Amino acid sequence: MRYVAYVEPGEPGVLHVAQRPEPVPAPGEVLVAVEAAGVCRADALQRRGLYPPPPGVSLVLGLEVAGTIAGAGAEVQEWRTGDRVCALVSGGGYAERVSVPRGQVLPIPGGWTAIEAATLPENAFTVYDNIFTRARLRPGETLLVHGGTSGIGTTAIMFGRAFGARIFATAGTPEKCEACVALGAEAAINYRESDFVAECKRLTGGRGIDVVLDIVGGDYIERDVESLALDGRIVCISSVRGTEARVNLVKMLRRRASLLTSSLRPRTPEQKAAIAERLLENVWPLLPKRDPIKPLVDSVFPFEKAADAHARLESNAHIGKIVLVP
């Protein structure tokens, strides 16, 4: 089968198409014939040698796919050959075939194409688990989303709106701020021109933010604390601005604040399957309506142009999700 390979870590140009044997699904796994694979920040970090896969996981890039069930290992009865699915994978998505634990597979929503469905798994699993399960966002609360036009950011805006939260977002250009508002944010703050802490206080009448979804890390964490309401929660899932953060414990104590962190890829198939069950129950019924949660595809590249896809991702020019197709 064809897959996207690289020999040594480096810039996007190291990516190229190669051949390798087709995977064989183990007991409890299904084989997916990939029609589309989502491109995410973790893929770029792995390509640079900064985010190695967990032990025993495929070295091939790609954490989310959509396509058709092409086979199954022993013990799998809920999925049949020909079923249209999307799936969260721990690696191996940039290939024509990938094996996936059965619990990490979800049906392609009604009315969604495979390309559109490939934008869902990594974002949906990450956003739902972090803002609803871990940070306990409730209807009527305020949610601040950093990086509002990233794949995670756009999903968080739409999920938050779907479940009745007031959404604010940060972005780096007027066009991206407009895109955040179009997706459902009450307001978007251009972080290059305004202080998001001051703007959040102004927009909430001095109350502050209940939940902050931070994909930035570093010195943003201290400012996140400043933006919080009483009993506010910060959930940090990335550290692109640095791996260390300073916090004023007195300010956290006064706000009764919580700082949460999480990562998805190293979790067990059972833990990921539990998130999938919650998505199937609470989110998937909303998706055929395509409002307020809708596919947001920035661009589509063939496997042969994977380097261009990664270059676009790292340029931060994209709005929504970049997708690869075999």
| DSSP characters over 264-287 | STTS-HHHHHHHHHHHHHHTGGGG
CA distance 127 to 131: 6
Structure tokens at 32: 């997916």
Which of 236, 233, 187, 232 minimizes the C-alpha distance to 215? Answer: 236
Residue 147 confidence class, pLDDT cut points 50, 70, 90: very high
Residue 123 has a pLDDT of 96
Residue 125 has a pLDDT of 98
Question: Do the beta carbons of residue 72 and residue 29 sit within 8 Å?
Answer: yes
* CATH code, 2-120+265-325: 3.90.180.10
Residue 252 has a pLDDT of 96
Residues of the chain with CATH 3.90.180.10: 2-120+265-325
Mean pLDDT of the chain: 97
Question: What residues contact 183, with CB distance under 8 A and at least 6 apart?
Answer: 148, 154, 157, 158, 161, 292, 296
Q: Which helix (H) or strand (E) holds 308?
A: helix 306-315
Taking residues 176-188, what's their average pLDDT? Answer: 97
Residue 73 confidence class, pLDDT cut points 50, 70, 90: very high
CA distance 96 to 36: 9
Residue 154 has a pLDDT of 96
258-313 residue pLDDT tens: 999 999 999 999 999 999 999 999 999 999 999 999 999 999 999 999 999 999 99
CA distance 131 to 234: 9
Residue 141 has a pLDDT of 98
Domain 124-261 grouped into CATH 3.40.50.300: no
Instruction: Quickly tell me which residue has 């949906």 as its tokens.
Output: 124
Residue 122 has a pLDDT of 97
Taking residues 220-230, what's their average pLDDT? Answer: 97
Residues of the chain with CATH 3.40.50.720: 124-261
Rounded to an integer, what is the distance from CA 56 to the centroid of its chain?
22
Q: In the chain, pLDDT over 90 holds for what percent of residues?
A: 99
22-41 residue pLDDT tens: 999 999 999 999 999 999 99
